[in-house]
Amino acid sequence: MNKALNKTALNFALAGIGVKLTTFYFALPFEIGIFGYFLFILFALFLGMRKHIIQNGFLGFGDVLKAGMKIGSIYALLVAIFTYVYYRFIDYNFFPGQIAERMLAGREAGMSDEQIVQMKDTLEFVFSASTQTTATLIGFMFVGFIYALIWTLIFTKIPRTRGV
């Protein structure tokens, strides 16, 4: 059971990472990679939870939710680790570009030098690989929980969705 859940989470996380790398390579909008992550966690949870039910039978709401949370947490951890690597080593100019854009907008808005310095400090904290990694991990854990809860409710209320 655990190997099947781990494998499902790993495969779909790698698919999401592949989409993110493809968007970087072809200079596509970075939102495509983010939407890919959301789509693949949805697929990972559905297929992994369904496989869990087929292999072990429907053992109740808690068991299915637990299986979904395991898939979601592994997926979130893998994507968060990749997020750090991506922004630290692959697209290392992304955050400086974001900071520069916002600094320019602040200057054009007539902010004082003191406000600009304060804004720069805040932006350097927000637009850092470690902050984005933490936000990604927490965000995908939350999204994984919500998606797993929805799939569990669907599997509980509509028995034919269980595939048995």
Q: How many CA atoms lie within 13 A of 65 on its CB side?
A: 10
Examine residue 105 and state whether it is found in any structural domain, yes or no.
Answer: no
Angle at 149 between CA 18 and CA 9, to 5 degrees: 25
- What is the total residue count of the chain? 164
Secondary structure of residue 157 in the 3-state scheme:
helix
Segment 64-108, tens digit of pLDDT: 999 999 999 999 999 999 999 999 999 999 999 999 999 988 888
Examine residue 153 and state whether it is found in any structural domain, yes or no.
Answer: yes
Examine residue 38 and state whether it is found in any structural domain, yes or no.
Answer: yes
Q: How many folded domains does the chain comprise? A: 1
Segment 100-153, tens digit of pLDDT: 999 988 888 888 888 888 999 999 999 999 999 999 999 999 999 999 999 999
Question: Taking phi first (over 0 means left), then psi (-120 to 50 degrees means alpha), and beta for anything else, what does residue 57 get?
Answer: left
Examine residue 124 and state whether it is found in any structural domain, yes or no.
Answer: no
4 compared with 38, residue with greater pLDDT: 38
Q: What share of the chain is helix, strand, coil (3-state, %, to 5)?
A: 85, 0, 15
Domain boundaries, position 24: 2-91+130-162
Q: Which amino acid, one-letter code, is at 137?
A: L
Secondary structure of residue 150 in the 3-state scheme:
helix
Examine residue 26 and state whether it is found in any structural domain, yes or no.
Answer: yes
Q: Which amino acid, one-letter code, is at 86?
A: Y
Examine residue 108 and state whether it is found in any structural domain, yes or no.
Answer: no
Examine residue 101 and state whether it is found in any structural domain, yes or no.
Answer: no
Dump the DSSP string for 40-94: HHHHHHHHHHHHHHHHH----HHHHHHHHHHHHHHHHHHHHHHHHHIIIIISTTH
